[in-house]
Amino acid sequence: MVMNFIFAVLNKLIGIMETMADFFYSLLPNSPFTIIENSEFNGLIAQINYFIPIYEFVAIMEGWLIAISVWYIYSIFARWIKAIQ
């Protein structure tokens, strides 16, 4: 009986967190890199992409920028709490 109550509470908390995550995700803007896919040069880029993988370069660059941003934000907070010099 107690375990059922605990599981019900945990399921309710997970549901609330899921709803909050969906809400915050809906606030984020669309990726700015979709401009390439929707441009009038999409056909030309598709032909160039046969030799040079532009879409993959853009995806890798986006991931790299996110990783570097996270590292800089972490270092700023670490310096702020004086965890590192």
Q: What is the mean pLDDT of residues 64-71?
A: 94
Domain extent listing, the chain? 1-30, 34-85
- b/e map of 33-47 (b: 16 or more CB within 10 Å)? eeeeeeeeeeeeeee
Higher per-residue pLDDT: 70 or 58: 70
Helix, coil or strand: residue 41: coil
Nearest to 58 by CA among 44, 72, 37, 39: 37
pLDDT in tens, 8-41: 999 999 999 999 999 998 888 777 667 767 777 7
pLDDT in tens, 44-57: 777 887 888 877 88
Helix, coil or strand: residue 24: helix
The pLDDT, as a whole number, for residue 7 is: 93
